[in-house]
Amino acid sequence: MYFDITPDAEFTKTEKVPGPTKEEIRALVISKMRLSDKDIVVDIGCGTGGLTVEFAKRAKNVFSVDINPDAIKTTRTNLEKLGLENKVELIQEEGFQALDQIDDFTRIMIGGSNGNLDNIIEEAYIRLPVGGQIVITSIVLETATDSVRMLKDLGAEPEVVNLCVSKGVMLERGVMMKALNPITIITARKQ
Q: Which of 99, 151 has the CB closer to ligand SAM?
A: 99
71 binds ligand SAM (CB under 6 A): yes
94 binds ligand SAM (CB under 6 A): yes
Cα–Cα distance measured from residue 166 to residue 155, given in angstroms and rounded to the nearest whole number = 35
What percentage of the chain's residues is helix, strand, coil (to nearest 5)? 35, 25, 40
Cα–Cα distance measured from residue 20 to residue 79, given in angstroms and rounded to the nearest whole number = 13
132 binds ligand SAM (CB under 6 A): no
Stretch that binds ligand SAM, among 49-57, 80-88, 126-134, 175-183 (CB under 6 A): 49-57
Among residues 23, 39, 66, 146, the one that binds ligand SAM under rule CB under 6 A: 66
114 binds ligand SAM (CB under 6 A): yes
41 binds ligand SAM (CB under 6 A): no
C-alpha torsion sign, points 23, 54, 150, 186:
negative
Which alpha helices (DSSP H) does the chain contain, by range?
A: 23-33, 50-58, 69-81, 95-99, 117-127, 141-153
Which of 163, 164, 165, 113 minimizes the C-alpha distance to 134? 113
112 marked as part of a ligand binding site: no
45 marked as part of a ligand binding site: yes
- What is the smallest separation between the CB atom of 173 and ligand SAM, expressed in angstroms? 34
* Interacting residue ranges for ligand SAM, rule: CB under 6 A: 17-18, 20-21, 44-51, 65-68, 71, 94-95, 111-114, 116
